[in-house]
Chains A and B, each alone.
Chain A
Amino acid sequence: MSSADLTGDATRRSFTGRRVRFGDVSLQALAGAAAAAATFLVFLIAFKVVRGAQPAIEKYGLHFVTRVAWDPVKNVYGAGSFLFGTALTSLLALAIAAPLAIGIALFLTELAPRRLRGPVTALVETLAAIPSVVIGLWGILVLGPVLRDQVEPALHGALGFIPLFGAPSSTGSSVFTAIVVLTIMILPIVASISRELFLGVPRDLKEGALALGTTRWEMVRGVVFPYARGGIAAALILGLGRAIGEAIAVTQVIGGGVGIHWNLFDTGDTLASKIAASYQGAQNDIQVASLVYLGLILLVFSLVMNASAQVIVRRAARRQGVGLRSGGAG
């Protein structure tokens, strides 16, 4: 804010000198302390999670990350199968959601009639506002049975030679249900960030391309996509981060289980869902520490992905002069 530079000297030379400076200094100190506390909170989170995981880190080391085991009876724990489950569910959900979200964003910025634009934007944002526990409730009681009875047998029948489409699940809880639920949850996030990016593409560039005789799609491919490339990458990273961190809805629909298998119609677990599912059952210290270790892996993922996405967005925004709100987990 430019007023800051202008006022510094003025207040210092004010008639009521000391009292005014005292007021200014205390407000600045108070607000600064709040900002420092907010920053400190992030470090405190990291510190506390590392400390909580310490017994497991000391006992298992980095080997924990790849070991495929979660056996409370023998007290052997590892993150391997949950890492696999997290990667499988979040990457496939992103693969389905990304083209749909970009399509929605293009619809909202380029195609929609003016009367539809506002309402559809609001509806897409409303989809993002539905709590994960409600999506999960719907996923387990409505979506799961439909997928089990209709979609899974059809996919197994048609594409059963691919290991991903194995024998259908018996309960409706499956990795596949989790992927569909995650797709629904990240779709509005990626769509609304992409929409803001596409809105930032200068009009003269788009009209210039159209004036050259391109079709609308060629204009999008030649102007909108290259212009928003960095931002789209960031939007996808944020969407992926959200899918990786989602615990509740996934816990409700994925069914649980340890082991690595490619059959989407079988049950599984992700890092986040394993933590959420164990909230009442942890029996001893090393198991609790192992759960926190899973949380630590999640935290590292989310820090790296969010920081890199924000850096990309900021760089793109500076280049384009567009203000972007963060998607984050919102």
Chain B
Amino acid sequence: MSTHSLTKAALRAEGLPRRRAVNRLMELLAWLAAALAVAILGIVVWSVARRGAGALNLDLITKTPVQFSFTPVRQGLANAFAGSLVIVGIATAMALPVAILVAVYLNEFARAGIRTAVSLTLDVLNGVPAIVIGIFVYGLLVVGRGQSAFAGSFALACIMLPLVARSTMEVLALVPSSLREASLALGVPRWRTTLSIVLPQTIGGIVTGTVLAVARVAGETAPLLFVSSLVGTQVSWDPHHALQTVPVAIFELAESPDPADHTRAWAAALVLLLFILVASLGARWLATRSSRRLSASR
């Protein structure tokens, strides 16, 4: 810390007008930077809303896409919405139990050294680019077997795992030790203390983390390109085959030269964006509520 130079700067009172001007300039720049970020968000959301709202109708989720039609037909992306539901649903079912167990192990059982090592690994996993996860799952599950929604779910689960584990660890750390000690002092064994005393306290935080992770992977395109993209246009709920998803559909429609396809891409993007905004704002609201409750009980 350069306290010394600070004192000297402060004592140099003669430069005061200039110093004040610099200060004002810097404050103004910081205000502008924040305003720019909010403006970008506004512009993106407004662009999507304006272009998507016009095409937003029931056809989008009830009709399937039609290829090579010379006359205008009513079509939608029902197959993509169904596929997203299936793939994200299975991914959540895969990632959630493992993530909670990992967090329980790190917070309740592991020694400090192991805890540091494994949580570093989780952070590294969190940093692996989504497209590399896609290549990995392609090599692991798709080569020789073909694409499937299961493979897509596994890819998304790899992305969800560190997110849910991290947020579960954060709420586990908030559970007061006195609660564990009281339970143990009453003779309740450790495993029952963990499962029926500690974990129920963290349910709000786990739900929040899971909803945020679902919102995150519902918009992921990169991991699915190689594992669930060669799809038909019919609605299917069978995870043994590749299924279309909303983000992959947007990706493909955006590349199309047909403006009608762009319109459907905007509408699908609007639905996706609304889902993500509602989910993440709702989760954040839940998080502040439950962490306030946990801190209060401390």
Shortest CB distance A326–B (Å): 5
Residues of A within 8 A of B294 (CB): none
Shortest CB distance A4–B (Å): 7
CB < 8 Å: which of B9, B41, B107 contacts A218? B9
- A44-B136, A126-B280, A280-B229 provided; 17 other pairs, C-beta below 8 A? A11-B189, A26-B191, A107-B30, A107-B31, A131-B218, A131-B220, A137-B254, A184-B40, A214-B6, A214-B9, A215-B23, A226-B1, A252-B251, A252-B255, A292-B139, A328-B162, A329-B127
CB < 8 Å: which of A35, A130, A222, A241 contacts B44? A130
* A262 CB-CB contact with B under 8 Å: no
7 CB-based A-B contacts, threshold 8 Å: A32-B105, A126-B280, A130-B276, A209-B6, A248-B221, A248-B247, A248-B251
A111 lies within 8 A of B31 (CB):
yes
B139 lies within 8 A of A48 (CB):
yes
The CA-CA distance from A247 to B247 in the complex, in Å, is 13
B128 lies within 8 A of A188 (CB):
no
Q: Which of B11, B47, B159, B229 has the most CB of A within 10 A?
A: B47
* A129 CB-CB contact with B under 8 Å: yes
Shortest CB distance B137–A (Å): 9
Residues of A within 8 A of B229 (CB): 279-280
A112 lies within 8 A of B34 (CB):
yes
Asked, given contacts A133-B250, A141-B262, A212-B10, whether A302 binds B34 with beta carbons under 8 Å apart, the answer is no
Asked, given contacts A48-B140, A104-B30, A279-B226, whether A215 binds B220 with beta carbons under 8 Å apart, the answer is no
* A60 CB-CB contact with B under 8 Å: no
Residues of A within 8 A of B250 (CB): 133-134, 137
Residues of B within 8 A of A314 (CB): 116, 120
* B122 CB-CB contact with A under 8 Å: yes
Shortest CB distance A289–B (Å): 10
The CA-CA distance from A125 to B276 in the complex, in Å, is 12
Residues of B within 8 A of A27 (CB): 104, 190-191, 194-195
CB < 8 Å: which of A32, A213, A252, A303 contacts B109? A32
Shortest CB distance A318–B (Å): 10
The CA-CA distance from A238 to B19 in the complex, in Å, is 33
By the criterion of a CB under 8 Å from any partner CB, how many residues of chain A are at the interface? 114
B→A interface (CB under 8 Å): 1-3, 5-7, 9-11, 13, 19-20, 22-23, 26-27, 29-34, 36-38, 40-41, 44-45, 47-48, 51, 97-98, 101-102, 104-110, 114, 116-118, 120-133, 135-136, 138-140, 158-159, 161-163, 165-166, 170, 173, 177, 180-181, 184, 187, 189-192, 194-195, 215-216, 218-222, 225-226, 229-230, 247, 250-251, 254-255, 262, 265-266, 269, 272-273, 276-277, 280-281, 284
Q: Which of B117, B135, B229 has the most CB of A within 10 A?
A: B135
A→B interface (CB under 8 Å): 1-4, 6-7, 10-11, 14-16, 20, 23-24, 26-28, 30-35, 37-39, 41-42, 44-45, 48-49, 51-52, 99-101, 103-104, 106-108, 110-112, 120, 122-127, 129-138, 140-142, 184, 187-188, 191, 205, 209, 212-218, 220, 222-223, 226-227, 238, 241, 244-248, 252, 272, 275-276, 279-280, 291-292, 295, 298-299, 302-303, 305-307, 310-311, 314, 325-326, 328-330
Shortest CB distance A224–B (Å): 11
A129 lies within 8 A of B127 (CB):
no
**Which 9 pairs between the two chains have the least Cβ-Cβ distance?**
A131-B219, A245-B129, A103-B33, A306-B127, A31-B105, A34-B101, A328-B126, A215-B23, A247-B131
Q: Which of A241, A244, A295 has the most CB of B within 10 A?
A: A295
Q: Which of A137, A187, A248, A326 has the most CB of B within 10 A?
A: A137
Shortest CB distance A144–B (Å): 11
CB < 8 Å: which of A112, A134, A299 contacts B128? A299
A45 lies within 8 A of B108 (CB):
no
Residues of B within 8 A of A252 (CB): 251, 254-255
The CA-CA distance from A245 to B132 in the complex, in Å, is 8
Q: Which residue of A is nearest B26, CB measured?
A: A217
CB < 8 Å: which of A6, A41, A216, A291 contacts B161? A41
User: Is chain B's binding surface mostly helix, strand, loop or mixed?
Assistant: helix
Q: Which of A1, A24, A100, A325 has the most CB of B within 10 A?
A: A1
Shortest CB distance B196–A (Å): 12
Residues of B within 8 A of A291 (CB): 135
Q: Which residue of B is nearest A2, CB measured?
A: B177
Shortest CB distance A312–B (Å): 12
B34 lies within 8 A of A131 (CB):
no
The CA-CA distance from A48 to B133 in the complex, in Å, is 10
CB < 8 Å: which of B98, B104, B127, B195 contacts A328? B127
B222 lies within 8 A of A38 (CB):
no
Residues of A within 8 A of B162 (CB): 38, 328
Residues of B within 8 A of A133 (CB): 219, 221, 247, 250-251, 254, 269
